[in-house]
Amino acid sequence: KPFRREVLTREREMMKMNSLLQRGLKIVEDNALLKIIQSEIQHEISTPRFQNVETGNIGDFKLEWDCSESKDIVLRRQFDSGEEVVVSALLEKEAIEDEDTMFPRAALAKVCIRKPGLSSILQFDCLVTETGPRSSDFDIEGACFIRSATSSSARSSTYGGHFFDTIDMELHGALREYLRSKGVSEGLANFLRCHLNKKEQDQYVNWLRRLESTISRDL
């Protein structure tokens, strides 16, 4: 019996030592990870990725939605006539591989125009891309006429994809001028790309800080 008690005591001590060893290894690993996270945070904060960029302007639009946790933003412009223009935008998932581009991602935008007294909406699907040094613009990729803004079952007439690429260039240019007349111009395009890319960077830094806080709490 004394021998058995001694064996049990040693087993408990070994289990305790293994537990302490595992905890020690975890602390070492967490410390290493914590240092990497802190280094990444410092890098993101100290590196002026968007220094001296053209920030653009929203003109007569108002920023209606810009939640710190969401990826998209919404802007609205109300004309004296009652006409409304709403622009919603978010970044493309795929990054731009061109090293010379100012921003790592292009933006996708939907421009919706509604005339006063009508429930129908004219919607343009646009890609907001860099057109030159410190400048961006809207490229129309598709158009959709939604017959009712309140009914999800209402039929719509859509033109996009390859078909939209083949329409008359004069018509395509006229549609772009039409959007510009509504304030959907280069200044707004610059604002969207700059704001959305900065927004993504801020969200990344905030995520790193939450991760840093979680790991630090366990040490």
Dump pLDDT digits (tens) for 60-94: 999 999 998 899 999 999 999 999 999 999 999 88
Q: pLDDT tens digits for 149-188? A: 555 555 555 555 555 667 788 888 899 999 999 999 999 9
Q: Which residue has the tokens 């801020």?
A: 202
| Residue 125 pLDDT | 92
The answer to whether residues 70 and 106 belong to one domain is: yes
Q: Do both 163 and 76 map to the same domain?
A: yes
Mean pLDDT of all residues in 7-27: 53
Q: Which three-class secondary structure state does DSSP give residue 193?
A: helix
Task: Tell me the C-alpha distance between 89 and 200, whole Å.
Answer: 13
pLDDT at residue number 81: 93
Note whether residue 211 is domain-resident: no
Asked whether residue 43 falls in the same domain as residue 67, the answer is: no
The per-residue DSSP string of 115-141 comes to -TT---EEEEEEEEEEEETTEEEEEEE
Residue 210 covered by a domain: no
CATH of the domain at 158: 3.10.280.10
Residue 217 lies in a domain: no
Q: Are strands 107-114 and 73-78 parallel, antiparallel or unpaired?
A: unpaired
Asked whether residue 143 falls in the same domain as residue 89, the answer is: yes
Asked, for residue 209, whether it belongs to a domain, the answer is no
- 128 located within any domain: yes
Q: What is the pLDDT of residue 7?
A: 44
Looking at the fold, whether 103 and 12 belong to one and the same domain comes out as no
Evaluate if residue 40 carries a pLDDT over 50.
yes
Q: Do residues 107 and 185 share a domain?
A: yes
Residue 57 CA to residue 37 CA, distance in Å, equals 34
Both 200 and 93 in one domain: the answer is: yes
The count of structural domains within the chain is: 2
Rounded-to-integer distance, Cα 89 and Cα 71, Å: 9
* pLDDT value, residue 82: 93
* Same-domain check for residues 118 and 166: yes
- Total-model pTM: 0.76
The answer to the question of residue 27 being in a domain is yes
Provide the residue range defining the domain that includes 30. Answer: 2-47
Do 74 and 7 share a structural domain? no
In angstroms, the CA 19 to CA 41 distance is: 32
What pLDDT does residue 20 have? 47
Burial class (CB in 10 A: 0-12, 13-18, 19+), 140: buried
Same domain membership, residue 68 and residue 40:
no
The half-sphere exposure of 145 on its side-chain side, counting CA atoms within 13 A, is 5
Report the alpha-carbon distance of residue 136 to residue 190 in Å, rounded. Answer: 5
Mean pLDDT of 187-212: 89
Note whether 198 and 112 are same-domain residues.
yes
- Residues 89-115: tens digit of each pLDDT: 999 988 776 666 778 788 999 999 999
